[in-house]
Amino acid sequence: MTSGSTGSHRAFMAVAATACICLVLTLVVGWRWYSQSIQARMVMLERARLHEMRIRDLEKLGLDAGAGIIQDTRPDATPKVSLQETAASKSKSAASDSLVPLPGTFKELPLQDSAADFVDALAVLDGYWRAVTTRERIPFVYDAPRVGPLMVEHYDTLKETDPDHTELRQKSRLLLDGHEILYFGYASSRATGLCEVAMRRDSGGRFLIDWESLAGHNAMSFSRIREAKPVAPVQVRAFVRLFDYYNYEFADSARYLCVKMIAANGVDTLYGYAERTSEIGVWLTAQLEEAKASGAMSGYTLKVGFPENPQSDQCLIIHQVVAARWLLLD
């Protein structure tokens, strides 16, 4: 090989090596940019997911997160938050007489993880989840003197259990109809996908667990309702969705709206009916129609009762929608 050809070969190798280095650097820079873009996109998607979850969780409490504050705008509406006992009594009476939930007031408050009352609330939650017996659970619940006996029947007599829960997905501090609430939403196998915990301040200012909404407690269990067939309305907490089961007295699907009601245990089922053109039927359609296709369920509190001389033990009249949530405030 001549010296000229050797020089040309070396020059070619140098150019090729330079080109390879440039190509590698381009690939490294491009890959890094691509990775950062993907990571940024994932962060945005995760933020969007958390925002959507927050909205859904607030909606499960019967709240409109987009509106921020929900108020009854009618000129003669009684304010929901009032220092006057007579005004508060009038508002409460109006709410109890209404066939569907009236607009209320809602405001999201700042949540400080280091606040003493929030830290104490977390300790209350931890104590409740760790408790093994009913007696151990009772000190952690709101209005324990009244609720304690209900818990004994729930756990010790009916052998019910608390809902399963895993990671914490949502936490909020709310002012709901004048009541300060701490809200926690845990991932769960429940029908809504969430185990929801509302905490209320007791007379001493401490946040304690609203056990009735957590457990989905009913004074009369679904099985007892089937047996007794009460005609007078009874209040039930249930997971609800629109359904197509038309039978017995309610066979006319053009006339009636059907709502499937599932107890908190996820097993016991009843069916509620309202005339489609009634105030209750129109309200339920507006609230539940969108979720019908997906089969998504919501936690509602209703008053239901059997027709006179019922033809079945599972088809009831919906007399009232008390709340689009399980949390009921005094």
Report the DSSP pairing between strands 269-275 and 207-209.
unpaired
pLDDT, averaged per 10 consecutive residues of the chain (330 residues), comes to 57 67 67 60 51 50 43 34 30 68 89 94 96 96 97 94 92 93 93 92 95 96 96 97 95 97 94 97 93 83 97 97 92
- Does some domain include residue 116? yes
- Does some domain include residue 178? yes
Q: Are residues 166 and 200 in the same domain?
A: yes
- Does some domain include residue 117? yes
Q: Are residues 203 and 249 in the same domain?
A: no
Sign, CA dihedral 73-75-81-86, equals negative
Residue among 167, 162, 174, 173 nearest 213 (CA)? 162
Domain boundary (215, 237, 255) is at: 215
What is the model's pLDDT at position 295?
76
CB 306 within 8 A of CB 316: yes
Half-sphere exposure of 79 (CA within 13 A, CB side): 8
What is the model's pLDDT at position 307?
96
Residue type, 327: L
Q: Are residues 178 and 269 in the same domain?
A: no
CATH of the domain at 122: 3.10.450
- Does some domain include residue 83? no
Q: Are residues 50 and 128 in the same domain?
A: no
DSSP helix/strand/coil, 246: coil
DSSP helix/strand/coil, 110: coil
Q: Are residues 211 and 235 in the same domain?
A: no
Q: What is the per-residue burial (b if ≥16 Cβ within 10 Å, else e) of 20-55? A: eeeeeeeeeeeeeeeeeeeeeeeeeeeeeeeeeebe
Q: Are residues 208 and 258 in the same domain?
A: no
Half-sphere exposure of 6 (CA within 13 A, CB side): 3
CB 110 within 8 A of CB 173: yes
CATH of the domain at 246: 2.40.50.140
What is the model's pLDDT at position 144?
97
Q: Are residues 227 and 317 in the same domain?
A: yes
What is the model's pLDDT at position 324?
93
- Structurally, the chain folds into a number of domains equal to 3
Q: Are residues 227 and 189 in the same domain?
A: no
- Does some domain include residue 166? yes
- Does some domain include residue 153? yes
Domain boundary (215, 245, 268) is at: 215
- Does some domain include residue 67? no
Q: The domain containing residue 208 runs over which residues? A: 110-215
Q: Are residues 247 and 188 in the same domain?
A: no
- Does some domain include residue 68? no
Both tokens of 89, joined, read 């009594």
Q: Are residues 179 and 232 in the same domain?
A: no
Domain boundary (167, 199, 215) is at: 215
CB 322 within 8 A of CB 235: yes
pTM: 0.72
Q: Are residues 300 and 265 in the same domain?
A: yes
What is the model's pLDDT at position 79?
29
Q: Are residues 189 and 231 in the same domain?
A: no
Contacts of 38 (CB under 8 A, 6+ apart): none
Contacts of 66 (CB under 8 A, 6+ apart): 55
